[in-house]
Amino acid sequence: MTEIAEPIDAATVVVARDSTEGLEVLMLRRNSKIYFGGMWVFPGGKVDPADRADSTAVAVCDEGDGRGFHAAAIREAQEEAGIDLSGTELHHFAHWLPPAVRPKRFSTQFFLAAAPEGLDISIDHGEITDHHWMTPTEALQRRSDGEIEMVTPTFCTLDWLRGFSSVLEACSAVRQPKCFHTHIKEVEGADPGMVAFYAGDVSYESLDLDAKGPRRRCYMLKSSWWWEENSGNLSY
What DSSP string runs through 155-211? Answer: HHHHHHHTT-SSHHHHHHH--SPEEEE-EEEEE-SSS-EEEEE-TTSTTTTT--TT-
Q: What is the arithmetic mean of pLDDT over 56-78?
A: 89
CB 48 within 8 A of CB 75: yes
Domains recognised in the chain with CATH numbers: 8-181 (3.90.79.10), 183-230 (no CATH)
With 60 as the cut, is the pLDDT of residue 234 above it? Answer: no
pLDDT at site 57: 86
DSSP result, 107-130: EEEEEEEEPPTT------SSSEEE
pLDDT for 93 equals 97
* Confidence class for position 235, pLDDT limits 50, 70, 90: very low
Percent of the chain with pLDDT over 70: 94
pLDDT at position 4, please? 65
Q: In sequence order, what are the residues at sequence separation of 6 or more whose Cβ sits closer than 8 angstroms to the Cβ of residue 31?
A: 37, 126, 127, 128, 129
| pLDDT of 131 strictly over 70 | yes
Mean pLDDT of 78-104: 90
Instruction: Report the Cα 129 to chain-centroid distance in Å.
Output: 19
Q: Is the pLDDT of residue 68 over 80?
A: yes
Q: pTM of the prediction?
A: 0.93
Residue 59, number of CB atoms within 10 A of its CB: 11
Distance, in Å, from the CA atom of 10 to the CA atom of 42, rounded to the nearest integer, reads 12
pLDDT at 236: 31
pLDDT for 197 = 97
Mean pLDDT check: name the lowest of 73-77, 144-148, 184-188, 230-234: 230-234
| Mean pLDDT for the chain overall | 92
pLDDT of residue 118: 87
7 CB-side CA count, 13 A: 20
Alpha-carbon distance of 65 to 54, in angstroms, equals: 12
Q: Out of 4-18, 22-36, 128-142, which region has the weakest mean confidence (pLDDT)?
A: 22-36
- For the cut 90, the answer to whether the pLDDT of residue 59 exceeds it is no
